[in-house]
């Protein structure tokens, strides 16, 4: 990471002018309510965050005026697959697939700082039916029966093989993403203990909560949604919302998995991973909710082309299984994803966590660009405090 050098007098003058402006206007400008990072930018850490991002501490005008440092991908190399990154109370928190019986979390005030952040074990499991093969964690701050809590939803199963993976949910004791956590239950909409993976939450503006996940049916791996009465209890039947239909979704085998939500400009988008993860052609597709009922027939429109895929020129293969998070000032949306640096690495532990900024097309749809090389220097997200860069 590049060390920042500033000139003290211009910075002090900028800070004083910013402070005067805040005094005259009564505070910092309020982020748009439909921004995925609205709560991050100007809400206390005790308020609810967007389902597409974490919440965090406010950034002052003086901090925002400082150009932050740079970093390069990858940002996490150990347990870097299927990443989740949130921003909360001035820190980034990272989780990834461990393949083990526990969850590890890394914390850093800067995105690039996750490279050297020491992992902390936040939960360990000993019950045999759900002890092992911990995959695909997602961390969301939701209003549950005990008030605002962090809910960690993930896939796990038995030690013998991966044929008995199911979706589980943990709940934090308070507002600290590091926990402690308690086990709340297995999500089993069918009541028959069937294989399910890659769970994620969709929270609608009126408070309705849904769980999205992936499941094999009819020879393909599809996406499903179910209404939730609380973060771990389904209510009603599950509905299939997507299946692999295009050729780019069927490399290796027909797969739609890893759904996650991006809400922006009053619209709800869903990204998902397509094709088999063992191929370099694992990639991201995009869907959009066209009505107000995520379970209604035809409610999800799938875009005809992939939106993020291998970049041989940059040496990036199999980019997928992503998650969205805000910049410290709420002005940018960023995407965490995993990828390989060799075309032959497949679904192995070589997958590393990477991150880059999301841009927006003129029609309001997200533009993810191409995955950058590991030698490309990226600026820290907008509003990164100068004090955090070292």
| Distances in whole angstroms, Cα of residue 230 to Cα of each of 6, 146, 155, 289 | 48, 10, 18, 22
Q: Rg (Cα) of the chain, in Å, rounded?
A: 20
Distance CA 198, CA 353 (A): 17
Q: 156 is written with which tokens?
A: 């796990």
Catalytic status, residue 82: yes
Which is the catalytic residue, given 125, 198, 249, 257?
Answer: 257
127: how many CB neighbours lie within 10 A of its CB? 9
Catalytic residue among 40, 49, 82, 125: 82
Instruction: Give the separation between CA 163 and CA 143, rounded to whole angstroms.
Output: 33
Q: How many whole angstroms separate alpha carbon 348 and alpha carbon 317? A: 13
My answer on whether omega of the bond before 74 falls inside 30° of 0, hence cis, is: yes
CA end-to-end distance (rounded Å), the chain: 8
Active site residue 40: no
C-alpha distances in Å from residue 375, one per residue of 74, 78, 258, 319: 10, 19, 27, 17
User: Which residues have a catalytic role annotated?
Assistant: 82, 257
């Amino acid at each position: 990471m590049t060390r920042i050098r500033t000139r003290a007098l211009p910075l002090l003058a900028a800070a004083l002018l910013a402070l005067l402006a805040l005094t005259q206007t009564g505070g910092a400008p309020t982020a748009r309510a439909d921004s995925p990072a609205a709560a991050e930018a100007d809400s206390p850490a005790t308020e609810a965050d967007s389902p597409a991002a974490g919440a965090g501490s406010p950034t002052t005008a003086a901090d925002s005026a400082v150009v932050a440092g740079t970093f390069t991908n990858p940002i996490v190399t150990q347990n870097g697959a299927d990443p989740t990154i949130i921003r909360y109370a001035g820190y980034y928190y990272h989780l990834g697939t461990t393949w083990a019986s526990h969850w590890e979390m890394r914390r850093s005030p800067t995105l690039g700082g996750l490279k050297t952040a020491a992992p902390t074990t936040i939960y360990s499991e000993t019950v045999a039916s759900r002890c092992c093969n911990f995959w695909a964690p997602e961390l969301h701050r939701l209003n549950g029966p005990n008030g605002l809590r962090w809910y960690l939803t993930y896939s796990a199963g038995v030690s013998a093989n991966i044929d008995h993976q199911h979706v589980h949910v943990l709940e934090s004791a308070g507002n600290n993403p590091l926990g402690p956590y308690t086990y709340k239950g297995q999500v089993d909409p069918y009541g028959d203990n069937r294989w399910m993976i890659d769970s994620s939450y969709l929270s609608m503006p009126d408070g309705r909560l849904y769980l999205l996940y992936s499941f094999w049916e009819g020879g393909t791996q599809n996406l499903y949604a179910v209404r939730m009465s609380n973060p771990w209890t389904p209510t009603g039947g599950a509905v299939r919302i997507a299946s692999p239909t295009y050729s780019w979704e069927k490399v290796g085998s027909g797969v739609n998995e890893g759904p996650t939500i991006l809400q922006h400009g009053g619209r709800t988008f869903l990204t998902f991973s397509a094709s088999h993860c063992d191929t370099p052609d694992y990639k991201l597709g995009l869907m959009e909710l066209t009505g107000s009922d995520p379970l209604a027939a035809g409610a999800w429109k799938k875009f005809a082309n992939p939106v993020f895929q291998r970049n041989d020129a940059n040496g990036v293969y199999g980019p997928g299984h992503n998650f969205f998070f805000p910049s410290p000032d709420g002005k940018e949306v960023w995407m965490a994803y995993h990828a390989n640096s060799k075309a032959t690495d497949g679904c192995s532990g070589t997958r590393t966590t990477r991150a880059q900024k999301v841009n927006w097309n003129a029609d309001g749809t997200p533009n993810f660009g191409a995955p950058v090389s590991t030698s490309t220097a990226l600026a820290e997200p907008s509003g990164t405090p100068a004090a955090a860069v070292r």
